[in-house]
Amino acid sequence: MATIDIKKILNKDKRSVARAITHIESGYDGAVELLEELHKFTGKAYKVGVTGPPGAGKSTLTLQLIKWFKKEGKSVAVICVDPTSPFTGGALLGDRVRMTEVSNLDGVFIRSMATRGSLGGLSGKAVDASDILDAAGYDIIIYETVGVGQSELDIAKAADTTIVVLVPESGDTVQAMKAGLMEIADFFVVNKGDRPGAEQAVAAIKTMLQFREHDEHTWWPAVIKTSAHENKGVDEVAREILRHKEHLETTGKLAVRRKEREKNRLEGIVEGAILSELWASGGAELLHGSISEVMGKQISPFRLAEKIVNSYREFLKEKNF
Amino acid sequence: MATIDIKKILNKDKRSVARAITHIESGYDGAVELLEELHKFTGKAYKVGVTGPPGAGKSTLTLQLIKWFKKEGKSVAVICVDPTSPFTGGALLGDRVRMTEVSNLDGVFIRSMATRGSLGGLSGKAVDASDILDAAGYDIIIYETVGVGQSELDIAKAADTTIVVLVPESGDTVQAMKAGLMEIADFFVVNKGDRPGAEQAVAAIKTMLQFREHDEHTWWPAVIKTSAHENKGVDEVAREILRHKEHLETTGKLAVRRKEREKNRLEGIVEGAILSELWASGGAELLHGSISEVMGKQISPFRLAEKIVNSYREFLKEKNF
């Protein structure tokens, strides 16, 4: 813990914040204690998720939102969850360069986290990182996720307001539905709204929203057309975030959402701890040593599972936990 | 167990097979014992996964493959993993009607399983169902998954040969990459191959495959153009399945893959058992009762997690497991 200065984090010192995130991202010793100490300073930041299929212009929109909130005197931190498929290599270089320029501004912090090799674990780490940014006093934290996988959905669910960004191209909205994005959207942005088909895309989304379960008290997701690279419609998007924030606050839904999220996070921590112990305490060896018998039909997978569960209980008994 | 007749299952009696699948799908008493008894009769079926984005024509291709294998004298069972998003309602009615017609043929069994509300658990149930079909003596088992979510990926991974079906439309291949489909494909089908852009889509996939890690011993995924509704290219697809099967068998990779899969399945069974016990034995109550303290910053999530882990150990000790 010698290298992490809590006071500097609380003073929004960028270098200390960056170092702390690296610390928890790498799972170094003392990571839990660090989060533990910072926990009482969290809960003030407002979290916005920006998600949608690749190429929809999420980075550009995020950049414009940073500038908008900066003008309002707010500090903004962004966690970009990057795809690191060997086929693509993540966001376009131009976006990255512009991101770097903006990240040098005072009161702006931008950080990328990679999904590769950390499926499942990433959403947890992104939430931990946002705790550090929250404690540091950033007013707005934006999660920008690229892709439509489960870990992107998990991260989007960790936001107070989730924006789903689509483009007019046919098939995009269908993809979004199938991937579960429709259900998590607090509102929609149809970016590249100057392209042909934009009006139809807006209409299609509005039609699909009719089928979502709702009553008269339901928040009705808006569908906003933007051209983020020309800064068109960005003002409307930012105001919709604030309108949704107010809705959550006045209805008491914000507290309910955050409690639900903290519950999910706790489940993840508990299950992670138990399962690591289970496999490390001999479960993995037993599985590895007996799998050939399962393949040879000498033992069924269910019997072997029972043996592994029992060996874990035996381990706990011996350790006298 | 009174209603399930093992002998009838082993004799490929469709009604008994269907009832057994319902039994394990619903998690009725005796489901594990049933799978246990059938386990020694499994391991003979060859499993094919057909996956890809919605609207790619997977159902049509699957129907044609059933007919192809029937002609070769093989029996075929299909497990369709249906999307049950409130927005869509699953496959087109026409496909379903044609599926029903085919399912009345001798030696053909078709079953739908719903993803709704069973995220994570579904892939396990689909694998259990395929054990019943395997024991019943079906030569080929096809998993047809609709969508690109994590549970669809898990199911695709449970196959010996995985086919990724795409359509020429722009964006489709990019979506597939992002969703992780590129990595799991043993070969590709570009369906609706008579549409404009089909040749470009084939070329794009081949280009992307160059970036996949490989050496001279690597299986090189083919890219096959089809028009499944006109039965064009289906023969080539079926032969590619058999060519891949032979490749896996002669290189010894089939045994390795199946062993790996059985390991993953075992991990799922063990973790499911431990975690259900953890939450049922007081963990859920403790979490529910203390989450407000976490929200109020009286206790950190990490401390509460520790308390829950300890209470589970206490439970095991008292039960004297």
Q: Does B307 touch chain A (CB under 8 A)?
A: no
Q: Does residue B213 register a pLDDT over 80? A: no
Which among B43, B266, B321 is the nearest to A304, CB-wise?
A: B266
Q: Which residues pair with A160 in a beta bridge?
A: none
- Which among B43, B85, B178 is the nearest to A54, CB-wise? B178
Q: Would an 8 Å CB–CB cutoff place B293 in contact with chain A? A: no
Q: Which residues of A touch B83 (CB under 8 A)?
A: 178
pLDDT of residue A174: 65
Decide if B267 touches A, using CB distance below 8 A.
yes
What is A172-200 written as a DSSP string?
Answer: HHHHHHHTTHHHH-SEEEE-STTSTTHHH
Model's pTM, two decimal places?
0.78
pLDDT tens by residue, A97-129: 677 788 888 999 999 887 544 434 667 888 999
Residues of A in contact with B39 (CB under 8 A): 297, 300-302
pLDDT: which is higher, B95 or A312? A312
Chain segment B187-198, per-residue pLDDT in tens: 999 999 988 889
Could you please report the per-residue DSSP string of B135-171? HTT-SEEEEEE-B-SHHHHHHHHTSSEEEEEE-SSTT
- Of B148 and A113, the structure prediction assigns the larger pLDDT to A113
Q: What is the pLDDT of residues A137-172, one digit of tens each?
A: 999 999 998 666 666 777 777 899 999 999 887 566
**Distance to chain A for B45, nearest Cα, Å:** 14
| Out of B34-43, B135-144, B214-223, B232-241, least confident range | B214-223
CB proximity B209 to A under 8 Å = no
Say yes or no to pLDDT of A89 above 50: no
Q: How big is the A-B interface in CB pairs under 8 Å?
A: 200
Find the mean pLDDT for residues B242-261: 95
B316 closest CA partner among A309, A282, A272: A309
Contact between B233 and B193 (Cβ < 8 Å) = yes
The answer to whether B57 touches B229, Cβ cutoff 8 Å, is: yes
The pair phi, psi for residue B47, each rounded to 5°, is -105, 130
Nearest residue on chain B to A52, judged by CA atoms?
Answer: B175
Confidence band (pLDDT; 50, 70, 90) for B228?
A: confident
Task: Tell whether ipTM is more than 0.85.
Answer: no
Highest mean pLDDT among A97-106, B64-73, B217-226: B64-73
For residues B125-138, average pLDDT: 94
A232 burial (CB, 10 Å; 0-12 / 13-18 / 19+) is: middle
B178: Cβ contacts below 8 Å, ≥ 6 apart: A53, A54, A83, A85, A88, A146, A147, A148, A149
Please, which residues bridge with residue B190 across strands? B166, B225
Per-residue confidence (pLDDT) for residue B56, from 0 to 100:
84
The answer to whether A54 contacts chain B (CB < 8 Å) is yes
Q: What is the pLDDT of residues A172-198, one digit of tens each?
A: 666 666 667 777 899 999 999 988 889
Read off the pLDDT band of A293 (50, 70, 90): very high
Diameter of chain B measured on Cα atoms = 69
CA A139 – CA A162 distance, rounded (Å): 16
The pLDDT of residue B87: 36
Please answer yes or no on whether A270 and B278 come within 8 Å at the CB atom: yes
pLDDT value at B117 more than 50: no
Whether residue A80 has pLDDT greater than 70: yes
In the predicted model, what is the mean pLDDT of chain A? 86
Task: Categorize the per-residue pLDDT at B169 as very low, low, confident or very high, splitting at 50, 70 and 90.
Answer: confident
* pLDDT at residue B201 is higher than 70: yes
Nearest alpha-carbon partner for B178 in A54, A68, A126 = A54
Nearest to A211 among B87, B259, B297 (CB): B87
CA distance A132 to A130: 5
C-beta atoms of B275 and A274 within 8 A: yes
With CB atoms and an 8 Å threshold, state whether A211 touches B150. Answer: no
Is B318 an interface residue toward A (CB < 8 Å)? no
How far away is chain B from the Cα of A241, in angstroms, using its nearest Cα? 23
Give the whole-angstrom CA distance, residue B319 versus residue B278: 13
| Residue among A238, A225, A191, A188 at smallest CA distance from A64 | A238
Domains and CATH numbers, chain B: 43-251 (3.40.50.300), 267-319 (no CATH)
Q: Please give the pLDDT value at position A100.
A: 75
Residues A50, A29: Cα–Cα separation, whole Å: 32
Instruction: Tell me the C-alpha to C-alpha distance, in Å, between residue A145 and each of A64, A94, A115, A225, A246.
Output: 16, 17, 10, 20, 24
A-contacting residues in B 89-128 (Cβ below 8 Å): none
* Strand order across the beta sheet in which B108-114 lies: B108-114, B76-82, B140-145, B46-51, B161-166, B187-190, B223-225
Using CA atoms, how far apart are residues B193 and B171, in angstroms rounded to an integer? 16
Q: Which two tokens stand for residue B43?
A: 């391991």
Question: Can you tell me the distance from the alpha carbon of B17 to that of B23, in angstroms, rounded to the nearest whole number?
Answer: 10
The verdict on a CB contact (< 8 Å) between A182 and B271 is no
In whole angstroms, give the CA distance from residue A183 to residue B207.
Answer: 35
Q: Judge contact between B133 and A164, C-beta under 8 A.
A: no
pLDDT-derived band at B130 (thresholds 50, 70, 90) equals very high
For residue A146, what is the nearest residue in chain B, using CA coordinates? B178
Work out the number of other CB atoms within 10 angstroms of the CB of residue A125. Answer: 21
Q: How far is B179 from chain A (nearest CA, A)?
A: 6
A36/B259 Cβ within 8 A: no
Nearest CA in chain B to A53: B175
Q: Is the pLDDT of residue A87 over 70?
A: no
Say if residue B118's pLDDT is above 50: no
- A71 min Cα distance to partner chain B (Å): 31
Section B267-282 average pLDDT: 92
Take residue B163 and report the two structure tokens written for it: 């086919």
CA of A254, closest CA in chain B: separation in Å? 12
